[in-house]
Amino acid sequence: MNRIPESELVLNPDGSVYHLNLLPENVAETVIFVGDQDRVPKVAAHFETIEFETQKREFRTITGTYKGKRMSVISTGIGPDNIDIVMNELDALFNIDLKTRTIKEKLTSITIVRVGTSGSLQADIPVDHFVLADYGIGFDGMLWSYDCNAVLEHELADAFVAHTGYMSEKAKPYIVQNSPELGDKLAGNPKVHRGITATAGGFFGPQGRVLRLALQDTELNHKTDSFLHKGHRVTNLEMETSAIYGLSKLMGHKACSMNCIIANRANKTFSKDPYAAVEELILYTLNQLSK
């Protein structure tokens, strides 16, 4: 038995995983990720029953049922670094015996859907519509810490690097596909657009925003939104999707990212009621998952 040391899998005194503050029985096999901890109760407000809730730092969890289906909603906070924490601890709850600190012989594959907000890079994807990410492209470099080559879309990533002249000193962009089965389950609404969601490692410079600091490549956003390879284009830019896809594929989980477009970077527009648009996406996602 290969026991995982205390320094590698950190647990709280009650045996729960360190950051999420969860025990295995606290979380469902269908999980909705949101970035904002205040969005967790907004999702859970639609649950018929609530059996458990907890919060530690920015990581808030509520578990209950929606139309008879057991679900958990967890806030991840912002960025790929937080996704690394959430994904590893969530996987540990299902696939590591926390008492013996050993990997279970029978592994569990869970369903993960991110419900987030994002800015569109394409003029034809208006605010208050939704983007379903068939692929996630990561500019953050986080996934390269893992042995990840087997889950990457190398041809698509190489085409993007060539198209943009991506700076070699930066972490090479990586691309991972969603769970096609889960993606098809979440598609079907005329407001749902499909494409590649780009994941940045920051909000300002990494997404092309200029305040006081000059950018390394002022044209990168335009190069990104003009990329087209075998019908695939980059539709929107946010900070979590590629990390979720990469770690889910490596761990054997099913993942899909749904983003509400609250800003259109191409035509400089912003939603007049982003809260209503996000609420619509929440209900749509819950209903599709409960089918």
pLDDT band at 266 (very low <50, low <70, confident <90, very high): confident
Radius of gyration over every alpha carbon of the chain, rounded to an integer in angstroms: 19
* Residue 151 clears pLDDT 90, i.e. is over it: yes
pLDDT band at 188 (very low <50, low <70, confident <90, very high): confident
pLDDT for res 91: 98
pLDDT for res 276: 96
Average pLDDT, the chain: 97
Amino acid at 123: A
Which residues contact residue 131 at a Cβ distance below 8 angstroms, ignoring those fewer than 6 apart?
Answer: 118, 120, 125, 192, 193, 194, 195, 197, 235, 236, 258, 259, 261
Q: Six-digit token pair at 264?
A: 């259109």
Which superfamily does CATH assign the domain made up of 24-290 to? Nucleoside phosphorylase domain (3.40.50.1580)
Domain coordinates of the chain in residue numbers? 24-290
Q: State pLDDT tens for residues 45-102.
A: 999 999 999 999 999 999 999 999 999 999 999 999 999 999 999 999 999 999 999 9
**Cβ contact 86:33 at 8 Å:** yes
pLDDT band at 265 (very low <50, low <70, confident <90, very high): confident
Which residues contact residue 268 at a Cβ distance below 8 angstroms, ignoring those fewer than 6 apart?
Answer: none
* Residue 1 clears pLDDT 80, i.e. is over it: no
Q: State pLDDT tens for residues 12-41.
A: 999 999 999 999 999 999 999 999 999 999
**Cβ contact 195:131 at 8 Å:** yes
% of the chain surpassing 70 pLDDT:
100
Q: What would the mean pLDDT of 172-193 be, rounded to a whole number? A: 96
Give the orientation angle of helix 241-251 with respect to helix 80-95, to 10 degrees: 30
**Cβ contact 290:111 at 8 Å:** no
* Residue 175 clears pLDDT 90, i.e. is over it: yes
Rounded Cα gap, residues 234 and 80, in angstroms: 18
